[in-house]
Structure 1
Amino acid sequence: MRELYSIPGCRIERVTRRSPAGTVIVVRPESSGARCPSCKASSDTPHSTYVRRPADLPAAGRSVQLQLHVRRFFCRNTKCARRTFAERLPGLLAPRARRTRRLATAQRAVGMTAGAEAGARLLPPLAMPTSPDTLLRLMHRAPLPALPTPRVLGVDDWALRKGRTYGSILVDLEAHRVVDLLPDRSASTVAAWLRHHPGVELITRDRSTEYARAATLGAPGAQQVADRWHLLLNVRQMVDRWLTGTHARLRALPEVVPGAESSSGRRHASFPRTRSEEHAGEESRARRVATYEEVRRLHRAGEPLLRISRTLRLARATVRKYARAEAFPERAVRVPGPSILDPFLEYLERRHAAGCENALVLWREIRARGFGGTSRQVHRWLQTRRTAPAGSTPLTRRGNAPNPSTPRPTGSLPSPKQLAWLCVQPQSALLPTEAATLARLEQDAEAARVVALARRFCEMVRERGVTRGAKPTSSCATFEQWLAEARTCGVRAVETFAQGLEHEGDAVRAALTTCWSNAQAEGQITKLKFLKRQMYGRVLMVTRKRGNLVMAERGP
């Protein structure tokens, strides 16, 4: 039995069967004496004996419980505060533990692999049952391994509670593993970590000024690399800010007819609104106009944007948009998305051309062809195509029937956010209608300069042509030319963006001439979010164990 099931520091006296699935092993310590845990003096004078019943690793698929007879000894040191003490078995059992060290190690390994909830469901068939909370405690108590300081480090922030509590994640980009999780995203915390871990040669980060300052303070000799995805994001945000202020002026530009229609089988305008919807829309617009005028008045009076935001109880982004707008920013016309009516539009157009203007009849016909919607959608589609009022239309409203020959109002323009997205897309990826929208914008001289500069910057970032170990290409020279043009283009938003790039020019140039980016850190954050969602909203503390992210229960 000793060869098959050894117990460190103990001898087995007998084995009994507790239940069909459990076994009890009676053991006693082999030593004749013990040392006092306080004064370390040896003693072989027994005082008494008591029994501990810890769980141990299973044997032959059966759970095992030890019946350990532990002795108490007199302490012979007269200066020691202890009169008696219990012998300890550090190789087998921790003080006051209900499971052996080797069982706790096995349960912790299952928890690290499967998680607390899944691990607790997996352990009973393995004859090592325990609760999810116990697995969380075991994982939280596991010591952190000593990892080497990474040479290439990725730094990014992650949200423990979005909008409230943020931390920092540090990733070894060469080893593809998490190095550490920091409790906040301040420059002092990240710089302190870097000072305690010298040897970092390259740091990738987003364009946060906190992380830039932390890298400068904690690792002044390390090369900083700005993340390319964030550079593309920032140029889109810059175009969005400029378009927000000039959107009213650009809406007056004449439309450009695209060379080909790519989506002729879909609607290109929303259904007409009812009278109540139009009235509600007019009231909403009047309130927004009044708010816009008040923001402009306070801004012209010299009030800071933050104070205006607090006074009027508006979001800072809304106050900034109103303050920078040359005219009241109208809401963009919503382009309808895909509809379940789209596959049947061709049939409806044919039937309407044949003279059918009965919406219920049309609805029944397309329902027989597989349409799963209601008749209201057909009614709204037919509303703008009627040549005469419907028979159910009240006499008082028959004079207000829409005239299909009346041309629909033109001049609609996508929202600034949608336009900014089109400006940073490769030209080869644009649809004919999207290319026509950009051509309409470029009729304005200032808009043409902004779109050209944004497009050139995106191409420069995407087509840098740098691979691992390759020499720097002409990207830096192209960047310097672009920077010189952007600083003198006469558009304030572009000039401000160029000044920010020039301020951290070394990090931007490194992004254009090296292969490193923050993509791995973003991937680890995605994994971290998955771990958070596994706990179904419980309060968590996510920690790093052996280079992996694990969950742990957060204390009160």
Structure 2
Amino acid sequence: MEVAPETGGIFQRAGILAPYQGHLHRRWNEGEHNIAGLFREVAARGFTGSGGTVRLYVSTHRKALDARLPPPAPAPARSVFEVCRLSTSRPERLGEDQRTFVKQLRNRCPEPATLHDRIHSFATVFATKRTSLLDRWITQVRTDGIPQSASYANGLRDDIDAVRAGAALPHGSGVAEGRITDLKLIERQLAGKAGIPLLRKRVILGAHSRRTRRQPIDDDLWTITGYENPV
């Protein structure tokens, strides 16, 4: 979707009519306002849709057509990943175009709007450590009518003590998860290629670099002798 700055209106995507938008706008400006006539013209040019599609396009874009605005440029498609990222990001970290997209998405789609609110209220629980809000949040999500989020809320309910502890306490499993990630990386890089001595040095090097990130690392950790690297 795109916003027409001259009118403030929102252009609907033309879909299969997109290749014929220019012709429709030109013929409208020339005075051809008969829907059936416009449909026959685009059908003669290869349009395979129905007259109702042409009628819907004209009614949706009537202000733009009457104002003799050019047809909108095709809006870039946004991936599911990008929509999720924008929905879970802090509004102050989004650009103007991104905030406009999120606002339009909320206005047009009730379920994403509800999910957007729930995501940010859930983040507020952890940011403010107000675990008293968790029960109300879970109840709201379970009654929203969105199966995926309700399933997530049920999972939180099953392990609510751990969730409360994670929200309220300063401790976390981030360090342990980081170490596990390091080990998996070493495994992928050296599986079947290195012996125990080399693997040991790589593990020590990784742990040492995390503890002393800004300090020089002893070059001895990089020392590899011939017999330490058997397959």
Give the Cα–Cα distance (whole angstroms) in 2 for the partners of residues 458 and 257 of structure 1: 34
In 2, Cα distance between equivalents of 1:504 and 1:407? 50
Q: Normalised by the size of structure 2, how large is the TM-score?
A: 0.51
Structure 2 equivalent of residue 419 of structure 1: 83
SS in 2 for 1:507: helix
Q: Are 1:458 and 2:113 matched, yes or no? A: no
- Pairwise mapping of residues 106-255 of structure 1 onto structure 2 (< 5 A)? 255=2
Structure 2: distance between partners of 1:419 and 1:540: 45
Aligned length: 144
CA distance 1:517–1:413, change in 2 (3 Å): same
Following the alignment from structure 1 to structure 2, what is the Cα–Cα distance between the partners of residues 257 and 455?
A: 30
Q: Is the aligned partner of 1:438 residue 2:102?
A: yes
Q: What is the alpha-carbon distance in structure 2 between the residues aligned to residue 530 and residue 450 of structure 1? A: 34
Match of 2:113?
448
Q: Which protein has the bigger strand share? A: 1
Give the number of the structure with larger relative contact order, counting CA–CA contacts within 8 Å between residues 6 or more apart. 1
Alpha carbons of 1:256 and 1:531: their partners in 2 closer, same or farther (altered >3 Å)? same
User: Partner amino acid for 1:448?
Assistant: A
**Contact conserved, 1:532 with 1:540, CA < 8 A, in 2?**
no
Output one character per residue of 1:50-78: Cα deviation in whole Å (capped at 9) or x when no partner: xxxxxxxxxxxxxxxxxxxxxxxxxxxxx
Shift of 1:481: 1.2
**RMSD (Å), alpha carbons:** 3.7
The letter for the 2-side match of 1:490 is G
Per the normalisation by structure 1, the TM-score is 0.23
Shift of 1:255: 4.3
Q: CA deviation at 1:464?
A: 3.2
Whichever residue aligns with residue 451 of structure 1, its letter is H
* Compared CA separation, residues 554 and 486, structure 1 to 2 (3 A): farther
User: 2:125·2:131 contact (CA, 8 Å) conserved in 1?
Assistant: no
The verdict on how the C-alpha distance between 1:452 and 1:553 changes in structure 2, with shifts beyond 3 A counting, is: farther
5+ residue gaps, structure 2, are: 6-69, 209-220
Cα offsets for 1:74-128 (capped at 9, x unmatched): xxxxxxxxxxxxxxxxxxxxxxxxxxxxxxxxxxxxxxxxxxxxxxxxxxxxxxx
Contact 2:166 2:172 in 1 (8 A): yes
Compute the displacement of 1:522 (Å): 3.4
Equivalence for 1:282: none
Cα distance change, pair 530–553 in 1 and its aligned pair in 2 (3 A): farther
Alpha-carbon distance in structure 2 between the residues aligned to 1:504 and 1:539 = 41
* Shift in CA distance, 534/451, structure 1 to aligned 2, threshold 3 Å: closer
CA–CA distance in structure 2, aligned partners of residues 520 and 497 of structure 1:
25
Contact 2:2 2:72 in 1 (8 A): no
Q: Deviations over 1:360-413 (max 9, x none)?
A: xxxxxxxxxxxxxxxxxxxxxxxxxxxxxxxxxxxxxxxxxxxxx654234x44
AA in 2 matched with 1:522: E
Task: Give the distance between the partners of 1:481 and 1:427, measured in 2 at CA.
Answer: 24
Shift of 1:535: 6.1
Identity across matched positions, percent: 24
Q: Distance in 1 between matches of 2:190 and 2:150?
A: 47
Closer/same/farther in 2, CA of residues 510 and 256 from structure 1, 3 Å limit = farther
- Structure 1 unaligned regions, length at least 5: 1-253, 259-404, 466-474
The structure with more helix, counted as a fraction of residues: 2
State the secondary structure of the residue aligned to 2:145. Answer: coil
Select the residue among 174, 182, 189 that pairs with 1:519.
174
Aligned-partner Cα distance in 1 for 2:167–2:87: 21
2:167 partner letter: L
| SS of match in other structure, 1:502 | helix
Whether contact under 8 Å (1:476, 1:513) holds in the other structure is yes
CA distance in 2, matches of 1:502, 1:540: 45
1:423-473 CA-to-partner distances (Å, cap 9, x unmatched) read 111111111111111111111222211111112112322x135xxxxxxxx
Mapped partners of 1:464, 1:501: distance in 2: 18
**Cα gap change, 1:451/1:540 in structure 2, threshold over 3 Å: closer, same or farther?**
farther
Q: Which has the larger radius of gyration?
A: 1
Residue of structure 1 equivalent to 2:151: 496
Cα distance in 2 between the residues matched to 1:406 and 1:449? 32
